[in-house]
């Protein structure tokens, strides 16, 4: 007589493992494309990135940023996919470097032309930061989100484990899956960021 096998109930830990497996599978093609494209593996012509590639990427949900990317209409494309996000992160006085970062990200968005719907901008700063109200004039379309000094230091510590430093008003690039995967400092020009972003948009199938 054939014995009937009872289906084992799924435990919470198994459910979490399956969820992480799905996330990794979804992100794998983009990560592979990034490594191949920026690492010049199987790609002719000596392509290289200007910014610092963060591998493995840093999950934006660890810093409370992922939710706005999934729910705010300004962060969602016409086809329902999340946008790429240029994050400007800082805690000090919003002075020259702050204004430059805001200006660069705005000009990059404009220069994307027909791809502009795929990318947006987010400013992460403490509520009481000096000079930000003045600096935000002319950047009304840019969303501002509270990011405490402790959160900044936590992100700084995380990036240090990748061998990267984090300075006030560096620009970070987040993919549509909520992975922070590129960093740009004051030494990078707007053309550097635009060049990398155009390449990523070219190979991306996720947004």
Strand order in the sheet with 179-184: 52-59, 179-184, 170-174, 84-89, 119-125, 143-146
Q: At 76, which CATH number? A: 3.40.30
Whole-number pLDDT of residue 176: 94
| Residue 67 within any structural domain of the chain | yes
Confidence of residue 105 (pLDDT cuts 50, 70, 90): very high
Domain housing 175 = 51-189
Tokens of 203: 């190979």
| Residue 103 within any structural domain of the chain | yes
pTM: 0.79
Number of domains in the chain: 1
Q: Say which DSSP state 89 is in.
A: E
User: Side-chain half-sphere of 31: how many Cα atoms within 13 Å?
Assistant: 16
| Residue 20 within any structural domain of the chain | no
Cβ-based neighbour number of residue 106 at 10 Å: 17
At 84, is the secondary structure helix, strand, or coil?
strand
Instruction: Tell me the mean pLDDT in the region 40-47.
Output: 46
| Residue 199 within any structural domain of the chain | no
* Alpha-carbon gap, residue 16 to 8, rounded angstroms: 16
* Alpha-carbon gap, residue 37 to 48, rounded angstroms: 7
Which are the contacts of 31, defined by CB distance < 8 A and separation ≥ 6?
55, 56, 57
Residue 37: is its pLDDT beyond 50? no
- pLDDT per residue as tens digits for the range 108-123: 999 999 999 999 999 9
| Residue 109 within any structural domain of the chain | yes
Bigger pLDDT: 49 vs 72: 72
Confidence of residue 33 (pLDDT cuts 50, 70, 90): low
| Residue 83 within any structural domain of the chain | yes
At 134, is the secondary structure helix, strand, or coil?
helix
| Residue 42 within any structural domain of the chain | no
| Residue 202 within any structural domain of the chain | no
- pLDDT per residue as tens digits for the range 126-182: 988 899 999 999 998 899 999 999 999 999 999 999 999 999 999 999 999 999 999
Start-to-end Cα distance in the chain: 54
């Amino acid at each position: 007589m054939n014995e009937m096998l009872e289906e084992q109930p799924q435990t919470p830990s198994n459910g979490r493992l399956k969820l992480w497996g799905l996330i990794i599978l979804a992100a794998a093609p983009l990560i592979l494309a990034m490594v191949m494209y920026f690492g010049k593996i199987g790609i002719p012509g000596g392509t290289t990135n200007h910014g610092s590639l963060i591998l493995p990427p840093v999950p934006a949900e660890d810093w409370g940023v992922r939710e706005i990317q999934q729910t705010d209409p300004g962060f969602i494309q016409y086809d329902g996919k999340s946008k790429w996000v240029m994050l400007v992160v800082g805690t000090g006085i919003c002075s020259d470097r702050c204004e430059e970062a805001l200006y660069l990200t705005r000009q990059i968005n404009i220069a994307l032309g027909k791809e502009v719907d795929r990318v947006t901008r987010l400013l992460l700063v403490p509520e009481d930061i000096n000079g930000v109200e003045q600096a935000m004039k002319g950047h009304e379309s840019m969303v501002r989100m509270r990011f405490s000094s402790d959160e900044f230091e936590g992100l700084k510590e995380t990036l240090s484990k990748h061998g990267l430093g984090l300075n006030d008003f560096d620009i970070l690039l987040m993919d549509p899956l909520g992975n922070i995967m590129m960093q740009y400092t004051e030494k990078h020009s707007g053309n550097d960021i635009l060049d990398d972003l155009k390449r990523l948009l070219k190979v991306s199938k996720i947004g």
